Amino acid sequence: MSRPLGALVLLSSILTCVTALVAAEKPWTEVRSPHFRVLTNGSTQDAVKVAREFEQLRWVFATRFPGWRLESGAPLLVIAVRDQATAKALDPQLRGFAGGHIAGLFRHGWEKQFAMVRLDTFGGDGSKEVVYHEYAHTILHMNSRWLPTWLDEGMAEFYAYTRFDEHKVYLGAPTERLRVLHSAPLGSIEEIMAVTQRSALYQSDFFYAESWALVHFLIYGPGMEGGKKLGRFSTLLQQGVEQRKAFQQAFGEPKEIDKAFAVYTWGEAAPGDFSRVTKAFDVTALKNSPQINEREFAIRTTSMAETEAELASYHLWIRDSQGARSLNEQAMKDDPKLGLAQENLGYLDLADGKDAEASAEFAQAHALDNKLYLSLFAKTMMSPLSSSHAVPDMNSFGAALGKVLQINPQFAPAYVQLARLAFREHDFDAALLMSRKAEELEPSLAGYHLLSGQILLRMGKGSDAADAAKFVADRWVGSDHNEAVELWNSVPAEQRPTGEMAFESPKDTQVIEGKVKSVACADKEQDWALVLDQGGRFLTFHRKGGFDTGISDTIWYGADHFNLCHHLEGLRAIVHYHLAPDAAYAGDIAELEIRDSPPEPLKESTASTHP
């Protein structure tokens, strides 16, 4: 998963007074519905409404997609703040967005997810759609191996504008972004299908609007069978059929549908004369809307320490270490035996490279609260057991991962580590079983497919490994694509289809590979430097501006806790760089890929050296 360096560097300029605004609050209220948890400093009545609407939206997905998974291994906490001031205090990064007037945010995570909604704007247009859009992504990604960008964004936008009243749920209401389609003609269907996350058009309001319009057309348009054809198209995609071929099979030739799509979107308006557009879009009123008994919601006032620890966790997951530490210190003063606060402290020290302290804190957190599976997982992964080849140690390691899964059976990273453990033990059948389970739980993560491919290759099933590599390489970009190409090239030529795959690299760059020997991380971001070990030849690379960093999905601490200052030593790195202007160092990094290589299989048993 590639992401810009700026998103991986911890914030360093958060004002202490901003955090204090939240820390000085009275304890917050927790509302628990059957499937959601809402934490609020506003009225209980408003928080109950938020929980009810999330339950209604979940019901929409359960109704529209029978058999889909609706519970993620990364639990969602909905934080319902009473006003803009609280929102800006909770998330200082909001100050950079629209003057802090954002009405809602959704923070996706590898281990935890957070939705923030403002109660003072929750009922108005645009106040909750961004949160519902991102929640829809969560559901889509849990149930899809891969989605083309237009379908991913178009479906999320379609469900973001679901409307609720007391007894009915309405689907198909127009996106607020529809107004921007007045600014230019629609793209052709083939042009829309070609957009990826690296395209210039991606993230523009225009692309989101036309993606919504295309999804709406493929559900409500003439001859679309009320969305049944779209369902067949999606099924073909999940079976690995190439996007254009799947589209042809489900709908016909894209060029032959372009005119019908334009007419559907604009009615009979003359091309370019958008002032005449009077198109009204169909809306579906879903029957038998869920009967949600709000009286059954569990409501309680959290302790002051719980409030502070929960809010500290939010700051931690948005990489505001100063805000997280300030709140967490207060939580630990208020309740020294609160497991969540101890877990937060472990992650803060992990981010600072204080591994011994972090490991002890995770152990203490789990001892205080044995439901904290993240603490147990982190403690286990930081112990010597995780790398030992002694059979008793590996047995203990597997048993600890099993306990993690007893607490959260949907936590895919534990299955990944069990797969790697079985791989070390030469039990490739068990390794594949565990890897496939991780794929099932998080099918949108390219690295999980590639892990299965590596296992298949070791089992002598090169053709199947090549299929896994091709599936990822044809659909993902950047580091994920390049990791798939590596797997493809490792399959013997006679076991894979003919043809070549090319690595992706920024323009005008050199590429070099080696192991990370060390990282220098000074106070100023521009002083960051990486030393690469090429079999005893050491090369130093600096940064010059921002750059993308891609990490293997199977690295245990994942994207939530990855940073460029710690825990890179010994990992394999692919550096895309521009040559340095002088001989003082090797070059300036343009893109960095951090790889999680397959584990070394067990060679011989030795006595355990770790109790």
Amino acid letter, 109: G
Reply yes or no on whether the pLDDT at 521 is more than 50: yes
Quickly tell me which residue has 């605004």 as its tokens: 21
* CB-CB contact of 400 with 393 (8 Å): no
- What pLDDT, on the 0 to 100 scale, is given for residue 21? 45
* CB-CB contact of 114 with 317 (8 Å): yes
> What's the rounded Cα separation, in Å, for the pair 8 and 555?
15
> What's the rounded Cα separation, in Å, for the pair 472 and 95?
37
Reply yes or no on whether the pLDDT at 255 is more than 50: yes
- What pLDDT, on the 0 to 100 scale, is given for residue 180? 86
> What's the rounded Cα separation, in Å, for the pair 32 and 48?
9
Alpha-carbon separation of residue 290 from 51, 63, 138, 303 (angstroms): 13, 10, 21, 33
75-89, 407-421, 521-535 — which is least confidently predicted?
521-535
Q: What is the pTM of this model?
A: 0.91
- What pLDDT, on the 0 to 100 scale, is given for residue 292? 86
- What pLDDT, on the 0 to 100 scale, is given for residue 85? 87
4-8, 92-96, 129-133, 204-208 — which is least confidently predicted?
4-8
- Reported confidence tier of residue 611, pLDDT bands at 50, 70, 90: very low
Tell me the average pLDDT across 548-553. Answer: 94
Q: Helix, strand, coil % (nearest 5) of the chain? A: 50, 15, 35
Reply yes or no on whether the pLDDT at 478 is more than 80: yes
Hey, what are 404's tokens? 């993690």
Reply yes or no on whether the pLDDT at 489 is more than 90: yes
- Reported confidence tier of residue 279, pLDDT bands at 50, 70, 90: low
- What pLDDT, on the 0 to 100 scale, is given for residue 8? 37
Tell me the average pLDDT across 370-391. Answer: 96
Tell me the average pLDDT across 211-224. Answer: 96
Amino acid letter, 587: G
* CB-CB contact of 530 with 478 (8 Å): no
Reply yes or no on whether the pLDDT at 280 is more than 70: yes
Q: Which element (helix H / strand E) includes 116? A: strand 113-118
* CB-CB contact of 140 with 72 (8 Å): no
Reply yes or no on whether the pLDDT at 44 is more than 90: yes
Tell me the average pLDDT across 207-213. Answer: 95
Give the gyration radius of the chain's Cα atoms.
25
Tell me the average pLDDT across 430-435. Answer: 98
pLDDT, tens only, 302-354? 999 999 999 999 999 999 999 999 999 999 999 999 999 999 999 999 999 99
10-14, 277-281, 514-518 — which is least confidently predicted?
10-14
Q: Which residue has the higher pLDDT, 582 or 298?
A: 298
* CB-CB contact of 104 with 128 (8 Å): yes
Q: Which of 564, 560, 554 is nearest to 528 (CA)?
A: 564
Exposure b/e, 219-233, CB count within 10 A at least 16 = b: bbbeebeebebbbeb
Reply yes or no on whether the pLDDT at 23 is more than 80: no
- What pLDDT, on the 0 to 100 scale, is given for residue 272? 52
User: On the CB side of 531, how many CA atoms lie within 13 Å of its CA?
Assistant: 11
User: What one-character-per-residue DSSP string does 481-501 give?
Assistant: HHHHHHHHHHS-GGGS-S---
> What's the rounded Cα separation, in Å, for the pair 428 and 421?
10
Reply yes or no on whether the pLDDT at 3 is more than 50: no
Report domain extents, the chain. 174-282, 510-595
Average pLDDT, the chain: 89
Domain 510-595: CATH architecture, name and number where available: Beta Barrel (2.40)
- What pLDDT, on the 0 to 100 scale, is given for residue 98? 52
Amino acid letter, 36: F
Reply yes or no on whether the pLDDT at 476 is more than 60: yes
Reply yes or no on whether the pLDDT at 234 is more than 50: yes
- What pLDDT, on the 0 to 100 scale, is given for residue 124? 64
- What pLDDT, on the 0 to 100 scale, is given for residue 177? 87
Reply yes or no on whether the pLDDT at 443 is more than 70: yes
> Other CB atoms closer than 10 Å to residue 433's CB: what's the count?
15
Reply yes or no on whether the pLDDT at 15 is more than 80: no
Reply yes or no on whether the pLDDT at 133 is more than 70: yes
pLDDT, tens only, 358-369? 999 999 999 999
- What pLDDT, on the 0 to 100 scale, is given for residue 2? 43
Name the β-bridge partners of 164.
169
